[in-house]
Amino acid sequence: MHAYLIIGTDEEKLDKKTSQLASTLSSTTLEFTLSKIADIREISGYTKHKLANKHTIIIRGLDKASIEAQNAFLKSLEEPQSNLSFIVVAKSAESLLPTIISRCQLIKVSGGKITKKSSSKYRKFLKLTMGERLNKVDIIRKRDEAVLFLEGYINFLHRTIVNSSPNPNMIANHVKSAQKARKNIQANGNVRLQLSNFVITLS
């Protein structure tokens, strides 16, 4: 694995985990904050040259970058050099391209951040019919993506219960089903099958 994605909301824990990982890679470390296309050009200007020694590039702020910037960065992940590794640090995976997530080894140091955007997404999922939910989860193919989706949904549901949900029993059932699906997927269960079973068990 040449790319790692570290997700967490605690700045101190993020920095500690990033430093620990970088040290285990035993390489020269460079750090970039990526938010726009110009930042990608700066990174590309460095990585286009063949590296004789091991290098690690730490990317911060990718979850706040534009889709165009993320797509440009994706090319670097798709065409890696043998002596180059990436560590992407983000507070939330919700705004990252699924193709970026699928090319990284996921490391979580704390619960994912529930943003207004992700809350709206999960709230809409909660109101869908079974068929519509099945269509939504059918596009999730990667194990890490499935786990992120389920963890985000669980966090959203917990917050819904705390905020006095009018139907706590239904919410509790969703939490239980999502937790079971997450456990099975993490235990190497078939992603599509587990997500489909998760949807079918929802009442």
Three-state secondary structure of 123-165: HHHHHCCHHHHHHHHHCCCCHHHHHHHHHHHHHHHHHHHHCCC
- Tally Cβ neighbours within 10 Å of residue 35: 15
Q: What is this structure's pTM?
A: 0.57
- Tally Cβ neighbours within 10 Å of residue 112: 20
At 51 the pLDDT is: 75
The CA distance from 152 to 118, in Å, is 8
The residue with tokens 């990526």 is 34
At 129 the pLDDT is: 94
CB-based burial label for 86 (10 Å; 0-12, 13-18, 19+)? buried
Q: What's the chain's Rg over C-alpha atoms?
A: 18
Question: What's the start-to-end Cα distance of the chain, in Å?
Answer: 40
Collapse the DSSP code of 41 into the 3-class scheme (helix H, G, I; strand E, B; otherwise coil) and give the result.
helix
CB-based burial label for 171 (10 Å; 0-12, 13-18, 19+)? middle
At 114 the pLDDT is: 54
From first to last of the 203 residues of the chain, give the pLDDT tens digit: 589 999 887 778 888 889 989 889 888 888 888 777 888 888 877 777 777 788 899 998 888 888 888 888 888 888 777 888 999 998 877 778 888 888 888 888 865 455 666 678 888 998 899 999 999 999 998 888 888 889 888 878 877 655 555 677 788 788 889 989 998 998 899 999 999 999 999 86
Nearest Cα neighbor of 105 from 143, 55, 69, 57 is 143
At 163 the pLDDT is: 57
Nearest Cα neighbor of 199 from 118, 143, 131 is 131
Question: Domain 3-108 - what CATH class?
Answer: alpha beta
